[in-house]
Amino acid sequence: MSFDPQTIEHLGVKMYSQLPNAIAELIANSYDAESPEVHIILKDNEEGKSIAVVDKGVGMSFDEINENFLRIGRKRRESDSGLSPNGKRKVTGRKGLGKLAFFGIGDTIQIVTKKNGECVNFTMNWNDIIHSKTPNYEPQYTIESCNPQEQGTTIILTNLKRKTAFDPEGLAGSLARLFDFFDDDFVADITLNNNEPIPIDKTLRYRNIDAQFTWNVPAFIEEKEHYLYKKNIIGELLATEKPLKPGLRGITLYAHGRMVNAPEFFGVGESSHFYSYLTGWLDVDFVDEQEEDIISTDRQSLSWDLQITSELRDNLKQLLSLVERNWRTQRKADRQRKITERTKVDVGQWYPTLTPDIQKGVEKIVDSVVENSELESDKQSEVVGALHALIPEYAQYHWRHLHETVKNASYRDYKNQDYYRAVTETIKRYESNVQEKSEFPKDAKGNLKDGKDLMFAAFGSILSVTAKYKRPDGKDFKPDTIENVEMGQQHMSAGVMSGVRNPLAHEEIQNLKASGLFTENDCLDILSLLSHLCRRLDDAVKR
């Protein structure tokens, strides 16, 4: 191996000090070697810690080890057209630096590789390399014969820099987020101390993430000529009901199965709390098919200052803006549905029953609670339920606290906006009740009294609406007080007959409506007056 020790230290030890990133490079090597599977074997026992990466790829011959594997910075795309040895896969490696990954986590690296009946076994030691007095390092090796049917490579890392215990499940999840090529053609797993293997697959990316809404790309975009279609960008975005942990937020970009850009939102204004709920992935293979290498060495970011990536970023920002608008619409509808289930308040039926000024205020409050609030669903329901109790359907009607007789006679017509019938039917009901309670008084000709004549007769000499009341000290009210209340009931009842019932009965409703002489508010005022009269009638007794 020809090398500069500082190169190995900076590109190996420092760049790949994180265990998932270092192992990811070894997994990528196995994939590029056309292996159908790769196994990460972790050991932590009295003998110490070790990591082995085992595959069944094409393996390497002695010459290939020297000319390719041990050659630092070999640009493999220039020599093999970006394809794996037998042309079965598009390779993920490009710079020839990933092989330095093992120096980031271990000081001793043993490599055993089999190809065409030849088994090459060699060991590299970090301390020997860094203290070498020449720019050439020759690892100790052996070459033996093996079964020609056996092929593949095993890399064993010992003398690890890591001192803490292994977390195989956490490592599996981290590796799942670094790749997009785990499937039936390339399976991977992790084993710790011969325990049950943990599969590494795409499902681990969103393990313990409960998606509320998902968007498939590019199917979400209706325009078939859109940039996402032209560039064959595919993937899935998802939003959760509750905010994600910061490390799980953002959209990851992959190219040919490997991460090329860590999760982010591509420069959109992240002040919106929407981005606390969003995660996902997109395949952007075309960025790895350019002549110029536009992927950073650590595969954490694309070079965003180029024309091709700038165009990509602009379109991704556009995509996220569309998703955010759709998310707000879906989230609002979903929250309203849940609120309806919990409170039995259907806002779609509630709003139209309110006057425009009240509806505007109610909608603003409900939208703040449902769409923009971070309250839990049950708290949202509690707030909306309390608001509905204060401002129910037909709030102006209910706020009048009308007498039951009035409500029974008027509510259906009021809901139908037939304010004239609501009033006339209530007056008829009141008139009938007065007749009944005064035992149906008749005029000199024997005809049943009605209208204002009935009211003057009933409350003039037959019924008393004050007889049951005394002052707090138990004494009777003054005669003038009694007379005024009694006459008030008499004249107000007669006034309703002559001033309300008669005009409604003899004038065209359309004229009353168009002129503004009789409006919804007039209806409510009269119903309130009738409620007062009905309550007095309830208290009335025969003289």
pLDDT of the residue at 426: 97
Structural tokens at position 226? 């859109």
Helices (H) and strands (E) in the chain, counts: 19, 15
Q: Which helix (H) or strand (E) holds 156?
A: strand 152-160
DSSP 189: E
**Does the model's pTM come out above 0.85?**
no
pLDDT at 22 over 90: no
By DSSP bridging, strand 106-115 and strand 118-125 are antiparallel
pLDDT at 77 over 70: no
Measured between alpha carbons, how far is residue 209 from residues 62, 88, 279, 280 in Å? Answer: 47, 34, 10, 11
pLDDT of the residue at 142: 95
Is residue 69 a contact partner of residue 98, using CB atoms and an 8 Å limit? no
Is residue 313 a contact partner of residue 233, using CB atoms and an 8 Å limit? no
Is residue 53 a contact partner of residue 23, using CB atoms and an 8 Å limit? yes
List residues bridging with 295 in a β-sheet. Answer: 302
pLDDT at 98 over 80: no
Structural tokens at position 210? 């409960």
Mean pLDDT of 70-98: 70
By DSSP bridging, strand 37-45 and strand 48-55 are antiparallel
Verify cis geometry, omega within 30 degrees of 0, for the bond prior to 243.
Answer: no
Tens of pLDDT, residues 41-66: 999 998 889 999 999 999 999 999 88
Give percent of the chain with pLDDT exceeding 90.
Answer: 61
Confidence of residue 95 (pLDDT cuts 50, 70, 90): low
Using DSSP's 3-state secondary structure scheme, residue 166 falls into coil
Structural tokens at position 391? 């401002």
CA 450 to chain centre: 65
118-125 β-sheet, strand order:
140-145, 118-125, 106-115, 152-160, 48-55, 37-45, 187-192, 198-200
- 9, HSE (Cβ side, Cα atoms, 13 Å): 8
pLDDT of the residue at 17: 66
Higher pLDDT, 279 or 460: 279
Burial of 136 (0-12, 13-18, 19+ CB in 10 A): exposed
Residue with tokens 């509905």: 388
Mean pLDDT of 123-139: 80
Confidence of residue 191 (pLDDT cuts 50, 70, 90): very high
CA dihedral 74, 65, 288, 236 (to 10 degrees): -150
Residue 488: count of CB within 10 angstroms of its CB: 15
Distance CA 543, CA 540 (A): 9
Helix, strand, coil shares of the chain as percentages rounded to 5? 50, 20, 35
Q: Return phi, psi of residue 393, to 5°.
A: -55, 140
pLDDT of the residue at 276: 92
pLDDT of the residue at 237: 96
DSSP 267: T
Distance CA 206, CA 501 (A): 70
Give percent of the chain with pLDDT exceeding 70.
Answer: 92
Confidence of residue 337 (pLDDT cuts 50, 70, 90): confident
pLDDT of the residue at 203: 86
Q: Which residues contact 56 (CB under 8 A, 6 or more apart)?
A: 35, 36, 37, 151, 152
Mean pLDDT of 404-414: 97
Structural tokens at position 54? 């085992």
pLDDT of the residue at 415: 94
Mean pLDDT of the chain: 89
pLDDT at 343 over 60: yes
pLDDT at 163 over 90: no
In 408-468, beta strands by DSSP E: 463-464
Measured over the CA atoms of residue 250, residue 260, residue 236 and residue 169, the dihedral's sign is negative
Burial of 358 (0-12, 13-18, 19+ CB in 10 A): middle
pLDDT at 423 over 70: yes
Higher pLDDT, 513 or 262: 262
pLDDT at 139 over 90: no
* Closest C-alpha among 51, 172, 63, 54 to residue 103: 51
Higher pLDDT, 299 or 173: 173
Q: Return phi, psi of residue 284, to 5°.
A: -125, 60
Confidence of residue 377 (pLDDT cuts 50, 70, 90): confident
Q: Which residues contact 536 (CB under 8 A, 6 or more apart)?
A: 465, 489
Is residue 96 a contact partner of residue 189, using CB atoms and an 8 Å limit? no
Least confident of 107-116, 120-129, 322-331, 479-488: 120-129
Confidence of residue 455 (pLDDT cuts 50, 70, 90): very high
Residue 173: count of CB within 10 angstroms of its CB: 18
- 437, HSE (Cβ side, Cα atoms, 13 Å): 25
Confidence of residue 7 (pLDDT cuts 50, 70, 90): low
Residue 529: count of CB within 10 angstroms of its CB: 16
